[in-house]
């Protein structure tokens, strides 16, 4: 106290400001050795007591109020004893120190906490902590490989051991799990990584309920950092390998050797239609929805794994790379490649002699299904990941959207050009069949010959129009499997092009009456074959386009006097004068139209001016005489099937011209006389087995057997057994 008073007095004296510092240093240099000697003396005494059998010092330490001083002394003694050799002389002393250490590990956790606060100021505190954790871990029950299931229960008993569990025991178990995986098997490695990481996350969630005050997220990050640092590179390589393996397996099953040099998107369309049809696999449909579904499943699994193993700031960036792989293997490596091979099978010329390979239609159908599947899965799997960026938008999302638009436009252009070639192939094959099967002579009977149906036209009636539509329906699925707006547009376009092809073909010939009838029969066959491409909305002023064409062909077979009436019918009224005249000029008798019009207008037409009873009597008499003249004329010939059809057409024209002389009372048993004659002419064209049925119809029932037999005997096949059997039944 005297020294302190002196120091205070000196410090208050202004002239001697440096003296307190010098005096303090001198006092410290003199007092330091004394304190060290006192500590050494105390330490030697304690050491002597520990070396004795007595344990008084230990008991005093446990309950002494000077716990801090005692702990410091013990810590120094421990360091000294650790230097003692393992001899009998010092063994008892070291044993007592170990007993003291075990006292720290007793279950009196409050006491242990107080001691840890005291020992925290010593340099050896870290070693004490490690020893404490080591001894604590020894008290835990044995944990099997499923450590996460029992972790919560163990940590509930020893909360302070959480850090040690993460840094020691769990780290070893995780490392052991990965040592059991083949380092070359990326798929197995990723599955183990995801499994262990998810188990660890669930364990952390359970531990968080205990409020340990430990940063579990940081501990988990430290634990998995060696594995997660290179995770995505492994994920990317594995996904590329798996997707390529799916495609290779499919092409191997199909027996197809994948082309080594792929065609880039910038010159793909030029390559498709450059005429390189000799490429291996050209014309085949090598598109598989199942393989695409497998690729989608691989991408979905990778995206799910990436979501669990990536930081939120990294996930949307990695999702963009997954989307690139998704687009590459589905569109670039499979869909575009498959469409290219299918398109190579299409012919390059406008007129196709061989039946075209229409497998491109099936390829388009498969590509359409794949596209819709991928769009759905993209919205379900990748779109949410790309939108997970802060703010909901990112450059990666914009890049992927642009890539999607480019893919859609590229596929649309590729399919459009392929369908254009398909339409050209179908129409070209139909044009080839028409040109090769039908000649100009087929529609004009030879001079001096019979007006029978031409053989080539009859042959064309089945194979010519049906071959191209049937090839589209049977080779590669055809258009009936298409639904939706695009399929309907394709059918409409095909219907229009075939219509133009038929009109162009019909305008190449001149038509006699029988030739016009033959053209009508052919058109009826065409219309039946082309029913799938005749859309209900495919109309001209409310009339089907092919029905209008059929009406135009009627202009080839009717009498010139009735051409005007036909042209004024509702279905033809809206057509231009040039269109109707173009069909009329196809008639072989188009040059005698004026003569026919003159006779019809100046003979029969003048009867309209005879009115009154006398005029009616004159018209009735003229009608009867003309009827007899016609019947007499008809009985001069023998009639084949086509001849009978011609006679029916002629009678129809006569009936139209003689309408003014056909009085309403001019009947036979209630039936018009000319209608009865028309029924009798039907006996010339029907099958022999049906003759009896026609003769029993109401309009012919009252006629005598001789009248009906007289018309039947005009048939060229009247001597056949079938006709004779029919005559006996009448």
Contact 94, 84 (CB under 8 A): yes
* Residue of 521, 426, 553 whose CA lies nearest to 478: 426
Looking at residue 292, its pLDDT comes to 93
In the prediction, which pLDDT does 650 show?
A: 74
Distance of CA 38 to the CA centre of its chain: 91
Which tokens belong to 568? Answer: 């004024």
Q: Give the phi and the psi of residue 475 in degrees, each rounded to 5.
A: -90, 100
C-alpha atoms less than 13 angstroms from C-alpha of 302 in its C-beta half-sphere:
31
Q: Which two tokens stand for residue 490?
A: 């394709």
The pLDDT of residue 471: 40
- Coil, strand or helix: which one is 317? helix
Query: What stretches in the chain show pLDDT beneath 50?
Result: 1-11, 13, 16-17, 55-61, 96-97, 99-100, 104, 164-165, 261-278, 446-480, 592-599, 602
Task: Express each pLDDT in 534-544 by its tens digit.
Answer: 665 566 666 78
| 8 Å CB contact between 70 and 103 | no
**Look-up: residue for tokens 């050797």?**
257
CA-based torsion, 696, 700, 706, 712: positive or negative: negative
Query: Most distant CA pair in the chain: distance in Å?
Result: 175
Dihedral sign, CA of 521, 524, 525, 526? positive
Instruction: Name the strand (E) or helix (H) holding 175.
Output: helix 170-179
Q: Token digits for 727?
A: 């005559």
User: CB under 8 Å to 424, separation ≥6 — which residues?
Assistant: 350
User: Which contacts of 454-460 are long-range, i.e. CB under 8 A and separated by 24 or more positions?
Assistant: 454/515, 454/518, 457/518, 457/519, 457/521, 457/522, 460/433, 460/434, 460/522
Asked whether 104 and 61 are in contact (CB, 8 A), the reply is no
Task: State the pLDDT at residue 41.
Answer: 76
Write the Ramachandran bin of 88: left for phi over 0, alpha for psi from -120 to 50, otherwise beta: alpha
Gap between the Cα atoms of 364 and 342, Å rounded: 9
Distances (CA, A) of 502 to 113, 231, 442, 497, 536: 103, 66, 16, 9, 20
Question: How many other β-carbons are positioned within 10 Å of the β-carbon of residue 24?
Answer: 13
Give the per-residue pLDDT at 29: 72
Of residues 349, 255, 240, the one with CA closest to residue 295: 240
What per-residue confidence (pLDDT) applies to 454?
A: 39
- Residues belonging to the chain: 730
CB 465 within 8 A of CB 348: no
| pLDDT score of 237 | 92
Structure confidence at residue 176 (pLDDT): 73
346-357 per-position pLDDT tens digit: 887 766 778 888
- pTM value surpassing 0.85: no
The pLDDT value recorded for residue 493 is 85
Q: What is the residue whose two structure tokens read 């670039």? A: 332
How far apart, in Å, do the first and last CA atoms of the chain sit? 162
Report the C-alpha gap between 358 and 422 in whole angstroms: 7
The Cα 42–Cα 79 span in angstroms is 16
| 8 A C-beta contact, residue 164 and residue 137 | yes
State the DSSP code for 141: P
At 316, is the secondary structure helix, strand, or coil?
A: helix
Q: How far is Cα 151 from Cα 529, in angstroms, rounded to an integer?
A: 76
Cα–Cα distance for residue pair 498/538, rounded to 1 Å? 13
Say if CB 723 and CB 688 are below 8 A apart.
Answer: yes
Cα separation, 531 vs 550, whole angstroms: 14
DSSP codes of every residue in 502-555: HHHHHTTS-B-HHHHHHHHHHHHHHHHHTGGG--TT-EETTEEHHHHHHHHHHT
Q: Is the dihedral of CA 684, 687, 691, 693 positive or negative?
A: negative
Contacts of 616 (CB under 8 A, 6+ apart): 610, 663
Q: How far apart are CA 304 and CA 382, in angstroms?
A: 10
pLDDT at 545: 82
Q: How many CB atoms lie within 10 A of CB 429?
A: 23
Burial 460-492 (b: 16+ CB within 10 A, else e): bbeebbbbbbebbbebbbbbeebeeeebbebbe
């Amino acid at each position: 106290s005297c020294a302190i008073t002196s120091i205070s007095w000196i410090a208050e004296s202004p002239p001697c400001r440096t003296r307190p510092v010098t005096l303090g240093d001198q006092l410290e240099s003199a007092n330091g050795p004394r304190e060290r000697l006192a500590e050494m003396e105390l330490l030697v005494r304690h050491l002597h007591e520990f070396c004795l059998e007595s344990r008084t010092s230990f008991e005093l330490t446990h309950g002494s109020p000077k716990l801090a001083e005692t702990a410091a002394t013990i810590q120094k003694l421990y360091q000294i004893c650790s230097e003692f050799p393992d001899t009998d002389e010092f063994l008892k002393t070291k044993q007592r120190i170990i007993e003291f250490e075990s006292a720290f590990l007793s279950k009196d956790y409050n006491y242990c906490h107080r001691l840890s606060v005291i020992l925290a100021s010593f340099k050896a505190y870290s070693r004490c902590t490690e020893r404490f954790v080591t001894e604590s871990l020894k008290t835990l029950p044995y944990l099997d490989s499923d450590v996460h299931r029992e972790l919560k229960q163990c940590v509930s008993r020893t909360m302070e051991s959480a850090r040690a569990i993460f840094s020691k025991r769990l780290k070893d178990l995780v490392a052991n799990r990965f040592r059991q995986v083949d380092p070359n098997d990326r798929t197995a490695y990723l599955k183990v990584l995801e499994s262990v990481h998810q188990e660890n996350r669930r364990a952390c969630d359970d531990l968080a309920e205990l409020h340990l005050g430990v940063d579990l997220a940081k501990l988990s990050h430290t634990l998995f950092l060696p594995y997660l640092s290179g995770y995505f590179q492994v994920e990317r390589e594995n996904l590329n390998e798996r997707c390529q393996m799916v495609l290779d397996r499919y092409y191997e099953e199909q027996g197809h050797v994948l082309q080594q040099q792929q065609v880039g998107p910038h010159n793909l369309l030029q390559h498709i239609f450059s005429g390189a049809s000799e490429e291996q696999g050209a014309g085949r449909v090598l598109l598989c929805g199942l393989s695409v579904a497998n690729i989608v499943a691989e991408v979905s699994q990778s995206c799910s794994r990436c979501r669990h193993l990536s930081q939120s700031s990294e996930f949307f960036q990695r999702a963009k790379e997954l989307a690139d792989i998704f687009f590459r293997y589905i569109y670039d490596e499979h869909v575009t490649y498959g469409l290219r091979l299918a398109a190579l099978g299409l012919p390059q010329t406008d007129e196709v002699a061989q039946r075209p390979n229409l497998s491109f239609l099936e390829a388009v159908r498969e590509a359409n299904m794949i596209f819709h599947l991928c769009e759905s899965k993209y919205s379900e799997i990748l779109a949410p990941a790309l939108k997970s960026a802060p703010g909901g938008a990112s450059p990666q999302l914009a890049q992927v959207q642009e890539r999607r638009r480019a893919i859609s436009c590229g596929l649309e252009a590729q399919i459009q050009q392929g369908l254009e070639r398909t339409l050209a192939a179908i129409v070209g094959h139909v044009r080839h069949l028409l040109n090769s099967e039908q000649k100009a002579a087929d529609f004009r009977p030879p001079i001096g010959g019979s007006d029978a149906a031409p053989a080539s036209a009859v042959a064309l009636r089945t194979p010519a129009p049906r071959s191209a539509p049937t090839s589209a329906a049977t080779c590669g699925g055809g258009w009936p499997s298409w639904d939706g707006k695009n399929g309907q547009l394709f059918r409409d376009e095909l219907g229009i092009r075939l219509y133009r092809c038929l009109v162009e073909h019909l305008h190449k010939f001149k038509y006699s009456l029988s030739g016009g009838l033959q053209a009508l029969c052919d058109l009826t066959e065409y219309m039946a074959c082309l029913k799938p491409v005749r859309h209900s909305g495919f109309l001209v002023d409310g009339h089907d386009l092919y029905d209008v064409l059929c009406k135009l062909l009627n202009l080839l077979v009717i009498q010139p006097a009735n051409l005007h009436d036909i042209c004024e019918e509702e279905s033809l009224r809206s057509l231009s004068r040039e269109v109707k005249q173009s069909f009329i000029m196809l008639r072989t008798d188009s040059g005698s139209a004026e003569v026919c019009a003159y006779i019809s207008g100046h003979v029969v037409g003048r009867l309209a001016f005879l009115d009154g009873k006398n005029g009616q009597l004159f018209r009735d008499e003229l009608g009867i005489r003309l009827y007899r003249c016609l019947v007499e004329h008809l009985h001069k010939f023998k009639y084949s099937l086509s001849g009978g059809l011609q006679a029916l057409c002629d009678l129809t024209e006569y009936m139209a011209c003689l309408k003014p002389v056909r009085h309403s009372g001019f009947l036979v048993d209630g039936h018009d006389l000319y209608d009865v004659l028309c029924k009798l002419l039907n006996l010339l064209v029907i099958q022999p087995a049906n003759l009896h049925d026609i003769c029993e119809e109401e309009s012919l029932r009252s006629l005598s057997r001789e009248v009906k037999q007289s018309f039947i005997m005009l048939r060229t096949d009247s001597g056949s057994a079938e006709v004779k059997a029919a005559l006996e039944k009448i």
